[in-house]
Structure 1
Amino acid sequence: MPKRDPQLAFHGGFWQVQRNLLAEAPRKAWLAFALTWLLLFVLIGCSMVAVDLQRQKQHFERVSYYMTRGLESRLKSCELVLYGFEDLINTDPDIHESELRHYAQMAARRYGFIYTLGFQQRIEHYRRAEFEHQQRLVFGPDFAIRDYRHGAGPAWRKASGWRVAPRRESYIPLIMTEPPLGQAARPAMGLDLMADSVVGPTVERALRSAEIEVTPMLRLGPSQSAIAYIHALYSPSPPSSSPIMRPEESIGIITLLVHTDSLINLRDEQQELLDVTLSRQEGAASQYDSAVFRSQAKEAATRLDRLLPVLEHREQVSTPYFPYELKVSMQLRLRMIPGISLLLAALAAALPGYLVLLIVAIRHHARKDREYADDSLYRTREHASVTLQAISDAVITIDNQRMVQYLNPAALRHLDTTEKYAIGRPLTEVFKLRYEFARRAVADPFMACLDTQQMRELEENSYLLRPNGEKLLIEGVVSPLFDRAGGLIGAVVTFRDTAPLRRRMLEALENSETRLKQHEYELARVTRITSMGEMASGIAHEINQPLSAIMSYCQASLSLLEEDEPDLALIVQAIQSAVNQADRAGKIVRRLREFVSKKSRQHTPVDVNHAINNVLTLADYDLRQAGITVDYHPGNRLPLVYADTIQLEQVVLNLVRNALDAMQGQAQPGCLFVETSYSAKRVCIKVGDNGPGISEDKIDSVFAPFFSTKSTGMGLGLTICQTIIESFGGQISAHNRTTGGAEFTVELPPLDSSTVPYTDTRA
């Protein structure tokens, strides 16, 4: 019976055909459409809510991170301002007060969170009358060193809360606040900070520790609060090592008052959603305050919002003298989905449902109108069977899904299988085709034949893996198989066993390749052993320097201990130096281990001049033994670079050793030239010598692996140096000096090209 064209059921245009199909769709199809649409709409809506909640979470994490970093940055700025103020006083003890006030005004204008900055002198009791007389000329006839009674009732701006300070051994009155506190805060001038019940304990700690201390929260008004940095100054400086003696050596304190609200610096949108608290850490709570800053979210959460979790971020401020913890929390909120988004979600959910409805309608129509007759066999099976039984080549037929349909006796014999087992199984389970000495990916010949409908030959290195593990070298082709109408119905695989000579040739080739791989492995192993020996000798030389220093420091300590009155401070300094050298040796070993085990480098801000000094110290013995002088010109105010300290020193040390080797045996005295500079936004390190230099035909190959101008060199040193410098974002180059000798230049990017942090190497 001839096959009916299925397209005859589809008359009219595109939309007309769809209307006809939908009109014939059963009720179950419409029910499936409704359920599919509802389910997808709910899923899309939930996905939109989940995406919004995830976006809120990401925004919260980002805001919390930058809030903490901003707080730490502002605290660091306060610390720098305070130390700068201290440097002004220490540099010139007779500095005029106007210069200090000018510095404080400049700091307050630059940093809006700074309230006041000043230096408060320490006054002995016998100088009190003279001091008060001098200050009355500034603050008026009512000025006196006074105490404030906290908790007495009246506000601190009212005179009833104050009393004249009784006689004490010494006082630290509040006299300098720049910018000025204003007329309303004038009663606070003359407050004895050392005896105050709130600020006094912090002042006492600062005098004894010689470090920066932070006060509890100070209430400046109904809506104003602040914290104060306290740092003591001493004469002589540095102070005594005994905390008991330091208060007597102090000349006063520096006070830096900071607005707590400005430290956090919440924006309007953050105040709407975030709860922010800056409170003392557990174990550091004060009797006066537990939190120096607290901000509640202005936007109230709904009942549905309270069903969602509250995001919370706690982080300890990384400044050691600031014992506070920043806590940021936010209530996740269900936001109204825009109408256009709901409309798009409804349309997106309806489209898959409509496709399901259309597919069901098409299948229903196809089941009703199907009038196909089975196609008669195009091939005469009996004739094909007789032919295939007689030939010696193996024949396998497969369908479009690569399922085995037929095998002739030769195929059963080569595959070592049975017809009952093989028929109906995937071809890959029966015909296990492999490739010897495969150097590239080989396309599946069966899939390629079915896709292109063209004959494909098996690769020359093909072999058949039999069930017993035996390899059967074969050759053959895969040909497409068509039905009477020209449609692809499968493929025919014909193959034969190759000659024994070819198998012997392939076996010989395999053995040869195995020996070649073994030889390459042995060569690589010997190379690795040689490289490790070269590195071990270099590391042993570097470690020998700190070990010698450790021995010298320990021997010096033992000699000092044998004296009748040993100098303990000098002994402690010697032992500490020995510990530092031991730590340096340990760092070298750890860096070697990390380099060998391919661990990540430890990049930190590095002072290039400091690294050069370390290298010259390590190489000092070898340079003096060789009679080589060092011409070192360190650059001033060089920016820091972001690199691994040990690896940068390794690069410079390798260049110094290469220069030392180049100057060996020459008639003229050797000279090592080392220079650091900063130009064109690059930090430069130059290491040169007055040796014979590098020949022009070899200068372009000095960084190539295994290239060396030394008779015993491995050619890996400069290659490793180049790899290290490029990992820092820099570059290394070589050229000959005009006055003779070779010179290597290392160029590194600064830590931050926009705001370069300079370091003065002359300090």
Structure 2
Amino acid sequence: MTVGAFQKRWGGILLALLAATVAGALRALLDPWLGDRPQYLIFLLAVLVAALLGGLLPGLIATVSSIAIENLATPRGMPGSIVDLLLFLAGAALVLLLATRAHAGQMVIASDAQQQAERQLRASLNQFRSILATVPDAMVVIDEHARILSFSAAAERLFGFTEAEMVGTNISRLMPTQDRGRHDDYVARYLATGDRRVIGRGRVVVIARRRDGSTFPMELSVGEALTDGVRVFTGFIRDLTEKQRAEARIEQLRADLVHAARLSAMGTMASTLAHELNQPITAVVNYVRGAGNLMRVAERSNLPIIQHALDEATAEAMRAGSIVRRLREFVARGDSEKSVEDLEALVEEASQLALIGARESGVETRFLIDRASAEVLVDKIQTQQVLINLMRNAVDAMAESAVRRLTVSSQPETGGYVRVTVTDTGPGIDPEIAENLFRAFNSSKKGGMGLGLSICRTIVEANGGKIWSEARPEGGTAFHFTLVRMETEQSE
């Protein structure tokens, strides 16, 4: 007999005794008013209640108890007592028959309801197991002592352990060695103080350990539940290995695209660069040739002239070398790396490549860099690529303008940024084109591929800023982009 059945049986017996006792007390209380009326009728109520609520056995016990109580209360030899007893027994039998049938019907209904509830519970459990078996996120349930209570199929695939191996063991088994002790300390501190670092805080990225000892990054979200005084923690785990690999591949493709854009820009400027390099090289040749001619005439008075010619040749050679060096740095492929740079120096170096041949075209340039916000945290080469692209676009836009003025300025921006602005005095940009100016394959130039400004946006956003353009009231276009100031990075 189960504990529940045992308790139910004794509960029915106590109910029968209580019903008979209450009926006896009621009978004694009403005795002056009942007179010669059948006394046993009151006890039929006790039998009815016991049989309805407890079934046949409590009904029989209530019947016997009622007879015993009535015999104790009725003087012996009193006329009619035997007849009353027989009437009571007949009535009790009828009541027991009807009440036990009603009780049996209730039990059948209750049993059907219980079976239905059990079927629904089994269906819910099967559905829950099916979800856990197919959901891509692994699920691990632990108690407040960090012992594993449940280990889903996805967790088995992810970590390489079976549920049978893991249930009952400490969750630290899934952690790298250096993190195992810290986890138990964290759980103990949380239970003592309620200080949450992971529980209920959304998804956090941590390192986990597989069965073979290898580690991998995972995204962890932990929830807490308290049921009947038992505290459990449920963790949902997502492997980030493929996500990080995909992000690395995307970053590599972006870097390749940015590098290709630099090469394309240099290809576009090839003729101008050739002209710019030809000037110092020609000057070097002329100076050296002149110095050689003077040296053939062995006169001491020619020495200062020869020295001056050689100095000029050296300066021109260094000028050509500087152009080649900057060109080589600009087109070189390298890893993206942020560093603290002086914005004024960035603009100056970028202009030396971007504005080659601009002076000969009558372009006036002005640099208005705010020294109070000149230190920025950027990728040097990529930021110069943005500056070169914007300055070259400005020069091209002013090709047909009467006034050709290019201005590069900077000013502090809210939120710890500095805004760089490149303005021109060209005809401006068609509003329809301006709406999609920074989208790929959308160009304001005839025959342009429409990638330059799209790549500029990619670079600026990768460096933590934003880029936009606006028409100037006096004519021309202003391109703005923001960079992170060094003071902001340090304060963080």
| TM band (smaller chain) | 0.3 to 0.5
**Which entry has the higher C-alpha Rg, 1 or 2?**
2
Structure number with higher helix proportion:
2
Q: What's the TM-score, normalizing by structure 2?
A: 0.41
